[in-house]
Amino acid sequence: MTQIAEIAQKMTRASKKFFYDPSTKLDWPEHLDASEWTMSPELVSLYGTELWASMSEAEQKKLSFYETGGFFSLVLNGERPLLEGMSHRLYTLEKDLEVTEYMHHFLDEENKHMMMFSTYCRKYLGKIYPEKKIPVARPMAKGEDDIAFFTKVLVVEELSDYYNVFMSDDDRLAKICRDLNRAHHVDEARHIHFGREYLKGLWERHASGWTQAEIDSFRGWLVDYINASWRDFLNPSVYRDAGIKDAYAAREMAIHSAVSREHRNRASVRFLKNLVACEILPKVPELQ
């Protein structure tokens, strides 16, 4: 049995052990409002900026309320194409029965996540923030489409998991927010472990046949994609709903804030180091 098959088999056992019904997994309060912390203040995108310092605690909590909705919408929008892409590859890319079996559990759990995040957003915000990314077609080397897909999967999972872990035990937050972050992390820990190993195998299988120019092109795209993914966390619609008048100026402040940039690099370093260890990236890049 291959290493990835052994990992998949282990993850399948864990998925079966921790199987749950998303409709009963969480205890949803009837109401949740902006008077409570719903996101750890250190994770709010404007934290550390002049604008954040000028806000009252009530205003900061209101921003955290909408940023939680923005974060959950972001993960929800990221997991939708994940489900589509994984379903498409289920019987075309992978022939190993152990891996295919785990992919079924992977899809089941991601579907449950979408149900939980959409419930939160619709119940407490009355909406889901739409996705802002616009896909751009580009020439790809052999196997690059699959490598890019699983890289995107890991970007969504690794960055959201940093937030999940941080917030799952933050007693300042409303209980439903702690519980939802914790529930997501438990499943995502398995997905990340599997995804890292699977991506490593794809890279070893395909990139060895690429030209240096093709490798450099992919690496440039990857760093750009990670930076663009972080920009998605800085949502003018969230700022506007929180009562910030100049939402786009607030976004620019968050982009260029030294505190925000340090946060983006700190939250990404584990993921980036793994990409270096797999030789997908030559070194840990400085994110913008």
What does the domain layout of the chain look like in residue ranges? 3-24+36-277
Q: What is the pLDDT of residues 51-100, one digit of tens each?
A: 999 999 999 999 999 999 999 999 999 888 888 888 878 777 666 788 88
Q: What is the pLDDT of residues 180-217, one digit of tens each?
A: 999 999 999 999 999 999 999 999 999 999 999 999 99
Q: Which residues contact 206 (CB under 8 A, 6 or more apart)?
A: 141, 142, 143, 144, 146, 147
pLDDT at position 192 is: 94
- Record the tokens describing residue 166, joined without a space: 């941080």
pLDDT at position 134 is: 64
Mean pLDDT of 249-277: 95
Contact 152, 252 (CB under 8 A): no
Q: What pTM was computed for the model?
A: 0.91
**135 pLDDT above the threshold of 70:** no
- Record the tokens describing residue 278, joined without a space: 């797999």
SS3 at position 37: strand
Instruction: Please give the mean pLDDT across all residues of the chain.
Output: 92
131-135 long-range contacts, CB within 8 A, separation 24+: 131/77, 132/232, 132/235, 133/228, 133/232
Mean pLDDT of 19-42: 92
pLDDT at position 133 is: 66
Report percent pLDDT > 70 for the chain.
97
CATH for the stretch 3-24+36-277: 1.10.620.20
